[in-house]
Amino acid sequence: MKEGPRSVSRIAAPIKNLAQRFAYLTLVLSTIALMFLGKIDAVVVEKARVVVTDSMAPILDAVSRPVEAVNKVIQEAHDLYALRVQNVELKTDRERLLQWQAIARRLEAENETLRGLLNFVPDRDPGFVTARVIADTAGSFANSLILNAGDRVGIRKGQAAVSGEGLVGRVADVGRRSSRLLLITDINSRIPIMVQPGGARAIMAGNNTGTPKLVHLSPGFSVAAGDRVVTSGHGGAFPQGLPVGVIASNDENGIAVQPYTDQERLQYVRILDYGLTGIIEMPPTETGGARPTDRGATHR
């Protein structure tokens, strides 16, 4: 019983050695035979090739999938990099176009007024100070920002603050090195505005949400979604024509305005000095000094 496997191994060993010795010669002869067979009967060879291809197709498909997945990942990485570069370029173009858009809208509004006023005297160019937002004090009862510039660089209470897109708010409090900016969405904000086209006048009232409401709309006027909203200049607090936003909706809940400026992304604002006092004019100080709006020149 124990001699059986040994006997088989003794018989198989010479056969295995012989097969290994003549394996290469066997393959060569098989190739030559297949070549002659292909010359003699092409139909049989074609059928055999189809059968072999069909048999190998699942294996080839399984092998190709990882390669395809790697190529797909590489292509997606390349596309993401291209999109990143394009996104940076588009952001730069958007900021530049928004600045030009604000200028164009203001010029359009000014042009409409000048057509009927040939003797119009244009306002002087405003001075300005660019300040950085250092704190956001927005909450349930107030929407305001803290800026890193105060009266030592010419900022005065009541001055308008704008971004590249449009009006942000007005200066509410001023210190030596800082100031507080009351946003147009604050519940205490009331801004005289004009809706274009049409010239309807109203007051834009903040409500501590992202969409202030229009109140006291001029009788006989109607507004529609998409109409532009700019400052009217009434009251002397803001100059005329500063872009504010667009009409977002006009329904039973009132007329909502969507501001141009995204207040959550503000980093820098420009404080404008038009030399206006209006409703914010203040009496002289106890020391006999001039009013805050008369002290010093605003930096450019």
CATH of the domain at 177: 2.40.10.340
Distance in angstroms (rounded) separating the CA atoms of residues 85 and 288? 58
φ and ψ at 211, to 5 degrees? -130, 95
Q: What percent of the chain has pLDDT over 90?
A: 12
pTM (2 d.p.)? 0.53
Considering 122, 141, 160, which residue would you say is the last residue of a domain?
A: 122
Q: Are the C-beta atoms of 157 and 173 separated by less than 8 Å?
A: yes
Residues 153, 277, single domain; the answer is: yes
pLDDT band at residue 13 using 50, 70 and 90 as cut-offs = low
- Would residue 27 count as lying in a domain? yes
pLDDT of residue 247: 92
Mean residue pLDDT across the chain? 77
- Would residue 151 count as lying in a domain? yes
φ and ψ at 249, to 5 degrees? -160, 155
Residue 297 CB partners (closer than 8 Å, separation 6+) = 127, 154
Lowest mean pLDDT among 35-39, 176-180, 201-205, 211-215: 35-39
Q: What percent of the chain has pLDDT over 70?
A: 68
Residues 45, 24, single domain; the answer is: yes
- Tens digit of pLDDT for each residue in 184-229? 999 989 999 999 888 889 999 998 888 999 988 888 888 888 899 9
According to DSSP, the residues that pair with 201 across neighbouring strands are 194
Domain count for the chain: 2
Residues 149, 36, single domain; the answer is: no
Lowest mean pLDDT among 2-6, 98-102, 249-253: 2-6
pLDDT of residue 296: 36
Distance in angstroms (rounded) separating the CA atoms of residues 181 and 133? 9
Region of residue 75 (left: phi > 0; alpha: psi -120 to 50; beta: else): alpha
Q: What is the dihedral of CA 164, 247, 204, 142, to 10 degrees?
A: -70
Residues 39, 186, single domain; the answer is: no
Residues 145, 33, single domain; the answer is: no
Residues 186, 246, single domain; the answer is: yes
Residues 81, 132, single domain; the answer is: no
According to DSSP, the residues that pair with 268 across neighbouring strands are 132
The first and second tokens of residue 142, run together, are 């107030």
pLDDT band at residue 30 using 50, 70 and 90 as cut-offs = confident
- Would residue 30 count as lying in a domain? yes
Q: Domain range spanning residue 251?
A: 127-294
Residues 137, 274, single domain; the answer is: yes
Residues 153, 240, single domain; the answer is: yes
Considering 92, 122, 152, which residue would you say is the last residue of a domain?
A: 122
According to DSSP, the residues that pair with 251 across neighbouring strands are 254
- Would residue 7 count as lying in a domain? no
Q: What is the dihedral of CA 274, 277, 279, 282, to 10 degrees?
A: 140
Overall average pLDDT of the 25-35 stretch? 75
Residue 154 CB partners (closer than 8 Å, separation 6+) = 127, 129, 273, 296, 297, 298, 299
- Would residue 257 count as lying in a domain? yes
- Would residue 229 count as lying in a domain? yes
| Alpha-helical runs (H) found in the chain | 3-21, 23-40, 42-114
Considering 122, 155, 174, which residue would you say is the last residue of a domain?
A: 122
Residues 135, 251, single domain; the answer is: yes
pLDDT of residue 278: 54
Residues 172, 110, single domain; the answer is: no
Residues 71, 185, single domain; the answer is: no
The first and second tokens of residue 126, run together, are 């405003």
pLDDT of residue 120: 56
Burial 117-148 (b: 16+ CB within 10 A, else e): eeeeeeeeebbbbebebeeeebeeeebbbbbe
pLDDT of residue 245: 92
- Would residue 2 count as lying in a domain? no
- Would residue 199 count as lying in a domain? yes
